[in-house]
């Protein structure tokens, strides 16, 4: 028995030794938890663990201050409950400039607060808080943007210009490039794989918060992000990434909560790396320009995305898919399901190819953006400003869109313009201003069991203008309705009404002056 106990103690000692070898308490590695800057101690601990094949850098409770950190393969940053890791307010602590991506453009600029390049198996986890102290970065942008006269360049602007000679962007982006000051993301992994971010809280990001670029197998789960009203402080922005899983997150930020991207214009097309195989589920979004957004930097393409079981309360928009002429790229195979929205300041749903460019029609080229195969279902929205908007471009209408089992209460209804193969099934939009469904310059439309319980006198529930090939069926307005359909436009044709019960309607069809007499078949 004595020999067995000795053997067990020996094995236990070995296990403890091996465990301790891969577990580095930062307080034992030269760091301190009194708020005194310890960048070098933290980086040295990362390098030490890396030389041993990897390990965990452990931050016990307390306050830590650091500059930019470079992560290596097989490294875990673990913040215990009560640990606060703050990043420096001194821009010099984010030098030298590194290769990074800013708003879809690859360049050299400030090192992201957490930066990783060409590595694998990196983790940030725990129950602690990480503070980017972004206000100094926001203030510098504000100082540059609001100057009434040209300012002498700072050393950072001079460095940026020297290290980015030959960088080309489209003319419309000149205003941004001319700042020569590009804030770092909070976390940017560049060309990495196997990333896990779990449990921690991020706050006060200088720029985008979680921003993997050109990465594979990214998991972000159970984190909270809090950024105040501040410029470009998006929450989670995977760009040109594959196999991304975002779940159980709580986000309240100064810009979009979650945004899927893949590069901007020619630079994005040059890399040609799509973001694909993305799941977003079980998240709550409060303040933010958009709940879940796709684009506008989508020149590499975005496909095979699911968004489910999320709540948006107080965001400017809910689901937003945006691009513009010149971007190029294809957004396709998108599924949105089981979403609840409330207090949406603008549109609950937006699909728009008019994000930030003009209206002039262009030839179809690699610069032409494409939206297709997008399907949304089981959505409830209340107190929204506008139910939804689909806005295509003449040379490339938005294609193959379906909405099913949707209930919305708000000021305005759905607007569809320049789209093809759009279907509404079991969609109720209780608008108090204008038509619930306003469709123009579109074709191949199905309106199946749609309606409104807030019919407005003199305003049609459905308004068609230059619409061809439409089926309006299985509709039964329960409440007294003044006008059910209004149709106009010389190109309106092949409109079929079938299986509708319109006993509660005063005027079933109001025909405009330019409508062909044979355009509608009952």
Q: Residues with catalytic annotation?
A: 255, 289
The token pair that represents 209 in the structure block = 């918060």
CB atoms within 10 A of CB 488: 18
Please give the structure tokens belonging to residue 263.
């590069």
Give kind and range of the element (H or E) at residue 116: strand 114-117
Q: Residue 484 gets which letter from DSSP?
A: E
Q: Of 465, 458, 442, 455, whose CA–CA distance to 513 is shortest?
A: 465
Q: Are 484 and 510 in contact (CB under 8 A)?
A: no
Tokens 């029609």 -> residue:
361
Q: CA separation (Å) from 515 to 68, 80, 439?
A: 65, 69, 15
Rounded Cα gap, residues 287 and 217, in angstroms: 28
Question: Do residues 152 and 144 touch, judged by C-beta distance below 8 A?
Answer: no
Distance, CA of 28 to chain centre: 40
Coil, strand or helix: which one is 219? strand
Strand-strand pairing, 398-417 and 34-37: unpaired
Structure tokens, 123: 């983790």
Could you tell me the end-to-end alpha-carbon distance of the chain, in angstroms, rounded to an integer? Answer: 94
293 contacts 320 by C-beta, under 8 angstroms: yes
329 contact partners, CB below 8 Å, separation of at least 6: 262, 263, 268, 269, 274, 298, 299, 300, 301, 302, 323, 369, 370
User: Are the beta carbons of 183 and 206 closer than 8 angstroms?
Assistant: yes
Calpha distance 284→129 (Å, rounded): 19
Tokens standing for 317?
A: 């928009």
Whether a cis peptide bond, with omega within 30° of 0, leads into 296 is yes
CB-CB contact of 341 with 290 (8 Å): no
């Amino acid at each position: 028995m004595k020999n067995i106990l000795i053997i067990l103690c020996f094995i236990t000692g070995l296990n403890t030794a091996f465990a301790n070898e891969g577990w580095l308490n930062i307080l034992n590695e030269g760091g301190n938890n009194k708020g005194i800057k310890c960048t070098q101690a933290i980086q040295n601990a990362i390098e030490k663990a890396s030389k041993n094949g990897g390990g965990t850098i452990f931050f016990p409770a307390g306050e830590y201050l650091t500059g930019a950190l470079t992560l290596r393969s097989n490294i875990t940053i673990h913040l215990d409950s009560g640990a606060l890791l703050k990043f420096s307010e001194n821009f010099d602590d984010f030098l030298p400039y590194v290769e990074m991506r800013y708003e879809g453009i690859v360049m050299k600029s400030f090192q992201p607060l957490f930066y990783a390049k060409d590595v694998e198996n990196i983790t940030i986890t725990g129950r602690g808080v990480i503070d980017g102290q972004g206000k100094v970065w926001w203030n510098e942008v504000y100082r540059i943007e609001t100057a009434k006269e040209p300012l002498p360049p700072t050393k950072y602007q001079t460095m940026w210009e020297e290290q980015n000679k030959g960088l080309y962007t489209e003319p419309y982006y000149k205003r941004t490039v001319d700042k020569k000051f590009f804030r770092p993301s909070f976390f940017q992994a560049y060309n990495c794989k196997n990333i896990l971010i779990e449990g921690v809280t991020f706050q006060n990001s200088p720029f985008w918060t979680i921003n993997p670029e050109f990465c594979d197998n990214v998991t972000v789960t159970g984190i909270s992000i809090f950024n105040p009203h501040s410029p470009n402080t998006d929450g989670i922005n995977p760009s040109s990434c594959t196999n991304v899983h975002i779940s159980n997150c709580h986000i309240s930020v100064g810009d979009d909560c979650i945004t899927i991207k893949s590069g901007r214009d020619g630079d994005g097309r040059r890399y040609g790396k799509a973001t694909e195989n993305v799941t977003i589920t079980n998240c709550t979004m409060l303040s933010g320009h958009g709940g879940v957004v796709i684009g506008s930097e989508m020149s590499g393409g975005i496909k095979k995305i699911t968004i489910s079981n999320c709540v948006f309360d107080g965001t400017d928009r809910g689901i937003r898919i945006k691009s513009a002429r010149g971007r190029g790229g294809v957004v396709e195979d998108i599924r949105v399901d089981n979403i609840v929205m409330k207090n949406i300041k603008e549109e609950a749903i937006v699909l728009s190819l008019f994000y930030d460019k003009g209206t002039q029609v262009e030839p179809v080229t690699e610069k032409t953006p494409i939206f297709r195969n997008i399907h949304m279902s089981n959505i409830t929205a209340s107190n929204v400003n506008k139910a939804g908007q689909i806005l295509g471009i003449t040379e490339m209408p938005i294609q193959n869109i379906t909405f099913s089992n949707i209930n919305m209460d708000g000021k305005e209804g759905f607007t569809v313009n320049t789209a093809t193969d759009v279907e509404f099934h079991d969609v109720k939009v209780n608008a108090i201003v204008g038509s619930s469904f306003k469709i123009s310059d579109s074709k191949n439309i199905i309106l199946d069991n749609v309606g409104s319980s807030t019919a407005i006198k003199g305003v049609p529930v459905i308004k068609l203008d230059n619409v061809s090939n439409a089926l309006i069926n299985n509709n039964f307005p329960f409440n007294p309705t003044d006008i059910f359909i209004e149709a106009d436009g010389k190109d309106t044709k092949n409109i079929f009404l079938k299986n509708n019960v319109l006993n509660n309607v005063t005027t079933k069809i109001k025909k405009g002056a330019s409508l062909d007499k044979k355009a509608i078949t009952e």
